[in-house]
Structure 1
Amino acid sequence: MSSLGALAGHRIVPVIVIDDAGAAADLAHALSEGGIGCAEVTFRTNAAADAIAAMAAIEGFTVGAGTVISSEQLHAARDAGATFVVSPGFDAGLVDETRSLGLGVLPGVATASETMAAVNAGFDAVKFFPADRLGGLATIRALAAPFPGIGFVPSGGVTAATAPEYLADPAVPAVSGSWMASRAHLEARDFATIARLSAEATRAIGVRP
Protein backbone atom coordinates (compact mmCIF):
# COMPACT_ATOMS: atom_id res chain seq x y z
CA MET A 1 0.00 0.00 0.00
CA SER A 2 1.39 3.43 -0.93
CA SER A 3 1.46 6.31 1.54
CA LEU A 4 -1.11 8.24 -0.46
CA GLY A 5 -3.23 5.14 -0.87
CA ALA A 6 -3.26 4.68 2.89
CA LEU A 7 -4.84 8.11 3.29
CA ALA A 8 -7.63 7.02 0.93
CA GLY A 9 -7.77 10.39 -0.77
CA HIS A 10 -8.52 12.35 2.39
CA ARG A 11 -7.00 15.83 2.29
CA ILE A 12 -7.46 16.69 5.97
CA VAL A 13 -6.17 14.21 8.54
CA PRO A 14 -7.13 15.16 12.10
CA VAL A 15 -4.42 14.40 14.66
CA ILE A 16 -6.20 13.05 17.71
CA VAL A 17 -4.89 12.99 21.28
CA ILE A 18 -7.60 11.23 23.26
CA ASP A 19 -7.72 10.34 26.96
CA ASP A 20 -11.06 8.52 27.04
CA ALA A 21 -11.74 5.89 24.38
CA GLY A 22 -15.40 6.15 25.27
CA ALA A 23 -15.51 9.37 23.26
CA ALA A 24 -13.98 7.85 20.14
CA ALA A 25 -17.10 6.67 18.32
CA ASP A 26 -18.87 9.98 18.84
CA LEU A 27 -15.73 11.73 17.62
CA ALA A 28 -15.72 9.71 14.40
CA HIS A 29 -19.36 10.55 13.80
CA ALA A 30 -18.74 14.27 14.46
CA LEU A 31 -15.81 14.36 12.05
CA SER A 32 -17.87 12.53 9.43
CA GLU A 33 -20.74 14.96 9.90
CA GLY A 34 -18.30 17.73 9.06
CA GLY A 35 -17.07 15.97 5.94
CA ILE A 36 -13.86 14.47 7.35
CA GLY A 37 -13.73 10.71 6.97
CA CYS A 38 -10.45 9.83 8.65
CA ALA A 39 -8.30 10.43 11.70
CA GLU A 40 -4.83 9.72 13.05
CA VAL A 41 -5.07 8.65 16.69
CA THR A 42 -1.72 9.25 18.36
CA PHE A 43 -0.02 6.86 20.76
CA ARG A 44 0.45 9.66 23.27
CA THR A 45 -2.13 8.32 25.73
CA ASN A 46 -3.06 4.93 27.11
CA ALA A 47 -6.46 5.18 25.42
CA ALA A 48 -5.06 5.17 21.87
CA ALA A 49 -5.49 1.50 20.97
CA ASP A 50 -9.05 1.29 22.32
CA ALA A 51 -9.94 4.54 20.57
CA ILE A 52 -8.59 3.21 17.27
CA ALA A 53 -10.67 0.07 17.68
CA ALA A 54 -13.83 2.07 18.36
CA MET A 55 -13.29 4.34 15.36
CA ALA A 56 -12.31 1.47 13.06
CA ALA A 57 -15.71 -0.07 13.77
CA ILE A 58 -17.46 2.93 12.17
CA GLU A 59 -18.38 1.96 8.62
CA GLY A 60 -16.66 4.10 6.00
CA PHE A 61 -14.29 5.78 8.45
CA THR A 62 -10.52 5.45 7.92
CA VAL A 63 -8.41 5.40 11.06
CA GLY A 64 -4.66 5.29 11.47
CA ALA A 65 -2.23 5.38 14.36
CA GLY A 66 0.12 8.27 14.96
CA THR A 67 3.32 8.81 16.92
CA VAL A 68 4.25 5.19 16.23
CA ILE A 69 7.90 4.85 17.22
CA SER A 70 8.21 1.21 18.30
CA SER A 71 7.37 -2.30 17.14
CA GLU A 72 5.11 -2.71 20.18
CA GLN A 73 3.02 0.29 19.20
CA LEU A 74 2.94 -0.87 15.60
CA HIS A 75 1.47 -4.25 16.51
CA ALA A 76 -0.99 -2.65 18.91
CA ALA A 77 -2.14 -0.35 16.11
CA ARG A 78 -2.56 -3.24 13.69
CA ASP A 79 -4.45 -5.34 16.24
CA ALA A 80 -6.78 -2.42 16.99
CA GLY A 81 -7.74 -2.05 13.33
CA ALA A 82 -5.58 0.82 12.09
CA THR A 83 -5.04 0.78 8.33
CA PHE A 84 -2.03 3.09 8.36
CA VAL A 85 0.58 4.39 10.76
CA VAL A 86 2.36 7.72 11.01
CA SER A 87 5.76 8.26 12.59
CA PRO A 88 7.47 11.52 13.57
CA GLY A 89 10.72 10.42 11.88
CA PHE A 90 12.12 7.92 9.39
CA ASP A 91 13.15 4.51 10.78
CA ALA A 92 13.97 2.01 8.04
CA GLY A 93 13.44 -1.01 10.29
CA LEU A 94 10.04 0.16 11.47
CA VAL A 95 9.07 1.00 7.89
CA ASP A 96 9.94 -2.51 6.74
CA GLU A 97 8.03 -4.09 9.62
CA THR A 98 4.98 -1.92 8.94
CA ARG A 99 4.98 -2.93 5.30
CA SER A 100 5.33 -6.60 6.24
CA LEU A 101 2.11 -6.27 8.24
CA GLY A 102 0.30 -4.88 5.21
CA LEU A 103 -0.26 -1.43 6.67
CA GLY A 104 0.26 1.89 4.96
CA VAL A 105 2.95 4.07 6.49
CA LEU A 106 3.63 7.80 6.42
CA PRO A 107 7.09 8.41 7.89
CA GLY A 108 8.20 11.80 9.10
CA VAL A 109 10.99 13.84 7.52
CA ALA A 110 12.58 17.15 8.40
CA THR A 111 15.57 17.30 6.06
CA ALA A 112 16.65 16.66 2.49
CA SER A 113 18.63 13.61 3.63
CA GLU A 114 15.58 12.04 5.26
CA THR A 115 13.49 12.85 2.20
CA MET A 116 16.08 11.15 -0.01
CA ALA A 117 15.97 8.07 2.21
CA ALA A 118 12.18 7.98 1.89
CA VAL A 119 12.33 8.37 -1.89
CA ASN A 120 14.88 5.56 -2.15
CA ALA A 121 12.62 3.40 0.01
CA GLY A 122 9.83 3.86 -2.54
CA PHE A 123 7.60 6.37 -0.77
CA ASP A 124 5.23 8.64 -2.68
CA ALA A 125 4.43 10.79 0.38
CA VAL A 126 5.97 11.73 3.71
CA LYS A 127 4.96 13.62 6.80
CA PHE A 128 6.78 16.98 7.06
CA PHE A 129 7.23 17.54 10.78
CA PRO A 130 7.26 19.88 12.65
CA ALA A 131 6.07 21.98 9.74
CA ASP A 132 5.69 25.35 11.45
CA ARG A 133 9.13 25.11 13.07
CA LEU A 134 10.82 24.11 9.80
CA GLY A 135 9.64 26.97 7.62
CA GLY A 136 6.24 25.69 6.54
CA LEU A 137 5.25 25.93 2.91
CA ALA A 138 8.43 27.71 1.84
CA THR A 139 10.54 24.76 2.99
CA ILE A 140 8.19 22.24 1.41
CA ARG A 141 8.54 24.05 -1.91
CA ALA A 142 12.32 24.03 -1.55
CA LEU A 143 12.34 20.29 -0.86
CA ALA A 144 9.83 19.52 -3.60
CA ALA A 145 12.12 21.00 -6.26
CA PRO A 146 14.72 18.18 -6.17
CA PHE A 147 12.11 15.57 -5.17
CA PRO A 148 9.20 16.21 -7.56
CA GLY A 149 7.71 12.74 -7.22
CA ILE A 150 6.91 12.86 -3.52
CA GLY A 151 4.12 14.56 -1.61
CA PHE A 152 4.66 16.37 1.69
CA VAL A 153 1.97 16.22 4.38
CA PRO A 154 2.64 19.08 6.80
CA SER A 155 2.02 18.37 10.47
CA GLY A 156 2.72 20.59 13.45
CA GLY A 157 1.24 24.04 13.70
CA VAL A 158 -1.19 23.64 10.80
CA THR A 159 -4.30 25.74 11.45
CA ALA A 160 -7.67 26.48 9.88
CA ALA A 161 -6.07 29.60 8.38
CA THR A 162 -3.00 27.91 6.90
CA ALA A 163 -4.51 24.61 5.71
CA PRO A 164 -6.03 26.03 2.48
CA GLU A 165 -2.74 27.66 1.51
CA TYR A 166 -0.84 24.43 2.07
CA LEU A 167 -3.37 22.40 0.10
CA ALA A 168 -3.29 24.81 -2.84
CA ASP A 169 0.29 23.71 -3.49
CA PRO A 170 0.68 20.66 -5.77
CA ALA A 171 3.38 19.22 -3.49
CA VAL A 172 0.90 18.94 -0.60
CA PRO A 173 -1.64 16.11 -1.00
CA ALA A 174 -3.00 16.44 2.55
CA VAL A 175 -2.51 18.25 5.85
CA SER A 176 -2.52 17.03 9.44
CA GLY A 177 -3.87 19.16 12.24
CA SER A 178 -5.74 19.13 15.52
CA TRP A 179 -7.61 22.43 15.47
CA MET A 180 -10.97 20.83 14.61
CA ALA A 181 -10.76 18.16 17.34
CA SER A 182 -8.46 19.30 20.10
CA ARG A 183 -7.82 17.51 23.34
CA ALA A 184 -9.89 20.18 25.08
CA HIS A 185 -12.84 19.56 22.74
CA LEU A 186 -12.67 15.86 23.51
CA GLU A 187 -12.37 16.34 27.25
CA ALA A 188 -15.50 18.52 27.11
CA ARG A 189 -17.19 16.08 24.70
CA ASP A 190 -17.99 19.08 22.55
CA PHE A 191 -18.87 17.11 19.45
CA ALA A 192 -21.05 19.90 18.04
CA THR A 193 -18.03 22.19 17.82
CA ILE A 194 -15.92 19.40 16.31
CA ALA A 195 -18.54 18.87 13.60
CA ARG A 196 -18.78 22.60 12.95
CA LEU A 197 -15.03 23.15 12.72
CA SER A 198 -14.68 20.10 10.49
CA ALA A 199 -17.35 21.44 8.15
CA GLU A 200 -15.67 24.85 8.04
CA ALA A 201 -12.33 23.18 7.22
CA THR A 202 -13.68 21.07 4.40
CA ARG A 203 -15.62 23.95 2.90
CA ALA A 204 -12.51 26.14 3.03
CA ILE A 205 -10.61 23.72 0.80
CA GLY A 206 -13.55 23.08 -1.50
CA VAL A 207 -14.09 19.40 -0.78
CA ARG A 208 -17.46 19.56 1.00
CA PRO A 209 -20.67 19.53 -1.10
Structure 2
Amino acid sequence: MYPLLEVHLDIIGENASKVLRLCEGKGIDVVGVTKGCSAFPEVAFVLLEAGIKILGDSRLDNIKKLRRAGVACPLMLLRIPMLSEIRELVELADMALVSEISVVKAINEEARRLGKFFKVILMIDMGDLREGIWPINLLSYLDSIRSLNYVELLGIGANFGCFGGVLPTPESVSMLINYASLAREYTLSDIPIVSVGGTVALQLLEEEK
Protein backbone atom coordinates (compact mmCIF):
# COMPACT_ATOMS: atom_id res chain seq x y z
CA MET A 1 0.00 0.00 0.00
CA TYR A 2 1.32 3.43 -0.93
CA PRO A 3 1.85 6.10 1.75
CA LEU A 4 -1.15 8.40 2.08
CA LEU A 5 -1.18 11.96 3.34
CA GLU A 6 -4.55 13.18 4.54
CA VAL A 7 -5.13 16.94 4.45
CA HIS A 8 -8.03 18.10 6.60
CA LEU A 9 -9.03 21.35 4.93
CA ASP A 10 -11.76 22.03 7.47
CA ILE A 11 -9.26 21.96 10.35
CA ILE A 12 -6.82 24.17 8.45
CA GLY A 13 -9.62 26.66 7.83
CA GLU A 14 -10.65 26.57 11.49
CA ASN A 15 -7.06 27.15 12.63
CA ALA A 16 -6.64 30.03 10.18
CA SER A 17 -9.82 31.67 11.45
CA LYS A 18 -8.65 31.31 15.06
CA VAL A 19 -5.26 32.90 14.32
CA LEU A 20 -6.97 35.70 12.40
CA ARG A 21 -9.28 36.48 15.32
CA LEU A 22 -6.36 36.52 17.73
CA CYS A 23 -4.29 38.84 15.53
CA GLU A 24 -7.02 41.15 14.31
CA GLY A 25 -7.96 41.87 17.90
CA LYS A 26 -4.47 43.35 18.29
CA GLY A 27 -4.47 45.21 14.97
CA ILE A 28 -2.16 42.67 13.31
CA ASP A 29 -2.46 41.51 9.69
CA VAL A 30 -1.70 37.87 8.85
CA VAL A 31 0.20 36.44 5.89
CA GLY A 32 -0.80 32.85 5.17
CA VAL A 33 2.31 30.75 4.53
CA THR A 34 1.94 27.93 2.00
CA LYS A 35 5.44 26.44 1.90
CA GLY A 36 4.62 23.74 4.46
CA CYS A 37 2.17 22.14 2.03
CA SER A 38 4.18 22.89 -1.15
CA ALA A 39 1.60 25.53 -2.08
CA PHE A 40 -1.19 22.95 -2.41
CA PRO A 41 -3.84 25.13 -4.12
CA GLU A 42 -6.74 23.72 -2.11
CA VAL A 43 -5.01 24.79 1.11
CA ALA A 44 -4.32 28.25 -0.32
CA PHE A 45 -7.98 28.76 -1.19
CA VAL A 46 -9.06 27.62 2.28
CA LEU A 47 -6.74 30.22 3.83
CA LEU A 48 -8.23 32.91 1.60
CA GLU A 49 -11.77 31.81 2.42
CA ALA A 50 -10.90 32.13 6.12
CA GLY A 51 -10.15 35.80 5.54
CA ILE A 52 -6.40 35.90 4.92
CA LYS A 53 -5.60 38.47 2.24
CA ILE A 54 -1.90 37.84 1.49
CA LEU A 55 -0.13 34.52 0.91
CA GLY A 56 3.60 33.99 1.30
CA ASP A 57 6.08 31.31 0.31
CA SER A 58 9.85 30.89 0.31
CA ARG A 59 9.95 29.09 -3.05
CA LEU A 60 9.34 30.79 -6.38
CA ASP A 61 8.16 27.48 -7.86
CA ASN A 62 5.40 27.44 -5.26
CA ILE A 63 4.43 31.02 -6.05
CA LYS A 64 4.27 30.03 -9.71
CA LYS A 65 2.03 27.08 -8.77
CA LEU A 66 -0.34 29.40 -6.92
CA ARG A 67 -0.61 31.76 -9.87
CA ARG A 68 -1.26 28.87 -12.27
CA ALA A 69 -4.01 27.64 -9.94
CA GLY A 70 -5.76 31.00 -10.23
CA VAL A 71 -4.70 32.57 -6.93
CA ALA A 72 -5.02 36.29 -7.58
CA CYS A 73 -4.29 37.74 -4.13
CA PRO A 74 -1.00 39.52 -3.34
CA LEU A 75 1.90 37.07 -2.99
CA MET A 76 5.06 37.58 -0.93
CA LEU A 77 8.45 35.89 -1.26
CA LEU A 78 9.44 35.10 2.32
CA ARG A 79 13.17 35.35 1.80
CA ILE A 80 15.78 37.44 0.06
CA PRO A 81 15.73 36.65 -3.69
CA MET A 82 18.80 35.73 -5.70
CA LEU A 83 19.73 38.05 -8.55
CA SER A 84 19.02 35.24 -11.01
CA GLU A 85 15.42 35.10 -9.74
CA ILE A 86 14.54 38.78 -10.05
CA ARG A 87 12.72 38.65 -13.39
CA GLU A 88 10.47 35.78 -12.34
CA LEU A 89 9.96 37.29 -8.90
CA VAL A 90 8.69 40.63 -10.19
CA GLU A 91 6.48 38.91 -12.77
CA LEU A 92 4.82 36.55 -10.28
CA ALA A 93 4.89 38.18 -6.85
CA ASP A 94 4.00 41.54 -5.37
CA MET A 95 6.45 41.87 -2.48
CA ALA A 96 9.58 40.33 -0.98
CA LEU A 97 11.95 40.51 1.96
CA VAL A 98 15.23 42.30 1.19
CA SER A 99 18.52 43.17 2.85
CA GLU A 100 20.88 43.72 -0.10
CA ILE A 101 20.86 47.00 -2.03
CA SER A 102 22.09 45.26 -5.19
CA VAL A 103 18.98 43.07 -5.06
CA VAL A 104 16.67 46.04 -4.47
CA LYS A 105 18.19 47.88 -7.43
CA ALA A 106 17.73 44.82 -9.64
CA ILE A 107 14.09 44.58 -8.53
CA ASN A 108 13.62 48.26 -9.35
CA GLU A 109 15.05 47.81 -12.84
CA GLU A 110 12.86 44.79 -13.59
CA ALA A 111 9.79 46.55 -12.21
CA ARG A 112 10.58 49.54 -14.43
CA ARG A 113 10.82 47.22 -17.43
CA LEU A 114 7.45 45.67 -16.62
CA GLY A 115 5.82 48.98 -15.72
CA LYS A 116 4.79 47.93 -12.21
CA PHE A 117 5.61 48.86 -8.64
CA PHE A 118 7.11 46.24 -6.32
CA LYS A 119 6.94 46.32 -2.52
CA VAL A 120 9.79 45.33 -0.21
CA ILE A 121 10.20 44.75 3.51
CA LEU A 122 13.67 45.71 4.72
CA MET A 123 14.94 43.12 7.18
CA ILE A 124 16.97 44.05 10.25
CA ASP A 125 19.02 41.48 12.15
CA MET A 126 17.77 41.29 15.73
CA GLY A 127 20.05 38.45 16.83
CA ASP A 128 18.83 35.40 14.89
CA LEU A 129 21.61 35.92 12.30
CA ARG A 130 19.61 34.45 9.43
CA GLU A 131 19.10 37.62 7.42
CA GLY A 132 18.94 41.37 7.72
CA ILE A 133 21.08 44.47 7.87
CA TRP A 134 22.83 45.71 10.98
CA PRO A 135 20.75 48.45 12.61
CA ILE A 136 23.65 50.90 12.32
CA ASN A 137 23.24 50.77 8.52
CA LEU A 138 19.50 51.49 8.49
CA LEU A 139 19.64 55.13 7.38
CA SER A 140 22.03 54.49 4.50
CA TYR A 141 19.79 51.68 3.24
CA LEU A 142 16.77 53.95 3.49
CA ASP A 143 18.59 56.56 1.39
CA SER A 144 19.30 53.98 -1.31
CA ILE A 145 15.77 52.57 -1.40
CA ARG A 146 13.95 55.88 -1.54
CA SER A 147 16.07 56.95 -4.53
CA LEU A 148 14.40 54.20 -6.60
CA ASN A 149 11.24 54.92 -8.57
CA TYR A 150 9.64 51.48 -8.88
CA VAL A 151 10.24 50.04 -5.41
CA GLU A 152 8.05 50.88 -2.43
CA LEU A 153 9.30 50.33 1.12
CA LEU A 154 6.32 48.53 2.61
CA GLY A 155 7.80 47.80 6.01
CA ILE A 156 10.60 46.95 8.41
CA GLY A 157 10.95 43.35 9.55
CA ALA A 158 13.03 40.88 11.51
CA ASN A 159 13.42 37.12 11.55
CA PHE A 160 13.00 35.19 14.79
CA GLY A 161 13.15 31.53 15.76
CA CYS A 162 15.11 30.31 12.75
CA PHE A 163 18.88 30.07 12.28
CA GLY A 164 19.91 31.23 15.74
CA GLY A 165 16.76 30.14 17.53
CA VAL A 166 16.26 33.63 18.97
CA LEU A 167 12.63 34.10 19.99
CA PRO A 168 10.82 37.44 19.97
CA THR A 169 10.44 39.20 23.30
CA PRO A 170 8.50 42.33 24.25
CA GLU A 171 11.85 44.15 24.35
CA SER A 172 13.03 43.04 20.89
CA VAL A 173 9.64 43.74 19.32
CA SER A 174 9.62 47.20 20.91
CA MET A 175 13.10 47.84 19.51
CA LEU A 176 11.96 46.80 16.03
CA ILE A 177 8.97 49.15 16.30
CA ASN A 178 11.38 51.94 17.22
CA TYR A 179 13.45 51.23 14.10
CA ALA A 180 10.27 51.44 12.01
CA SER A 181 9.37 54.76 13.66
CA LEU A 182 12.86 56.06 12.89
CA ALA A 183 12.45 54.97 9.26
CA ARG A 184 9.12 56.80 9.00
CA GLU A 185 10.54 59.99 10.48
CA TYR A 186 13.67 59.86 8.32
CA THR A 187 11.87 59.19 5.04
CA LEU A 188 8.72 61.20 5.82
CA SER A 189 6.67 58.28 4.51
CA ASP A 190 4.10 55.88 5.92
CA ILE A 191 5.96 52.50 5.93
CA PRO A 192 2.89 50.72 7.37
CA ILE A 193 4.27 47.28 8.26
CA VAL A 194 6.39 46.07 11.16
CA SER A 195 6.93 42.35 10.56
CA VAL A 196 7.95 40.33 13.62
CA GLY A 197 7.99 36.88 12.05
CA GLY A 198 5.71 33.88 12.09
CA THR A 199 4.02 31.61 14.57
CA VAL A 200 6.84 32.04 17.10
CA ALA A 201 5.29 35.44 17.85
CA LEU A 202 1.86 34.02 18.68
CA GLN A 203 2.87 33.23 22.24
CA LEU A 204 3.39 36.94 22.91
CA LEU A 205 -0.17 37.62 21.76
CA GLU A 206 -1.62 34.79 23.80
CA GLU A 207 0.21 36.06 26.87
CA GLU A 208 -0.88 39.61 25.98
CA LYS A 209 2.68 40.91 25.89
Unaligned runs of 5+ residues in structure 1 are 1-19, 99-103, 186-192, 201-209
Going from structure 1 to structure 2, the CA distance change for 1:63 and 1:125 (only over 3 Å counts) comes to closer
* Amino acid paired to 1:182: V
| Greater relative CO (CA pairs within 8 A, separation 6+) | 1
> How many equivalent residue pairs?
163
Question: What secondary structure sits across from 1:182 in the alignment?
Answer: helix
Going from structure 1 to structure 2, the CA distance change for 1:25 and 1:160 (only over 3 Å counts) comes to same
1:86 aligns with 2:76: yes
TM-score by length of 2: 0.60
What is the alpha-carbon distance in structure 2 between the residues aligned to residue 39 and residue 173 of structure 1?
14
What is the alpha-carbon distance in structure 2 between the residues aligned to residue 81 and residue 28 of structure 1?
20
The answer to whether the 8 Å contact 1:62/1:83 transfers is yes
Q: Deviations over 1:183-205 (max 9, x none)?
A: 885xxxxxxx64664xx6xxxxx
Deviation at 1:182, TM superposition (A): 2.5
What is the alpha-carbon distance in structure 1 between the residues aligned to residue 146 and residue 90 of structure 2?
24
The answer to whether the 8 Å contact 2:56/2:75 transfers is yes
TM-score by length of 1: 0.60
Deviation at 1:147, TM superposition (A): 2.8
1:25 aligns with 2:23: no
Deviation at 1:165, TM superposition (A): 0.7
Unaligned runs of 5+ residues in structure 2 are 1-10, 112-116, 161-167
2:27 is aligned, of 29, 32, 35, to 35
The answer to whether the 8 Å contact 2:87/2:110 transfers is no
> How big is the alpha-carbon RMSD for the aligned residues of Structure 1 and Structure 2?
3.4
The answer to whether the 8 Å contact 1:109/1:127 transfers is yes
* Amino acid paired to 2:53: T
- The alignment-based identity, stated in percent, is 10
Aligned to 2:107: 118
Structure 2 matches for 1:1-209, cutoff 5 A? 21=12, 22-36=14-28, 38-46=29-37, 49=40, 52-59=44-51, 61-67=52-58, 69-76=59-66, 79=69, 81=71, 83-87=73-77, 88-90=79-81, 91-98=85-92, 105-122=94-111, 123=117, 125-129=119-123, 131-132=125-126, 133=129, 134-149=132-147, 150-151=152-153, 152-157=155-160, 159-168=172-181, 169-170=183-184, 172-178=191-197, 181-182=199-200, 194=205, 197=208
More helix as a share of residues: 2
Aligned to 2:5: none
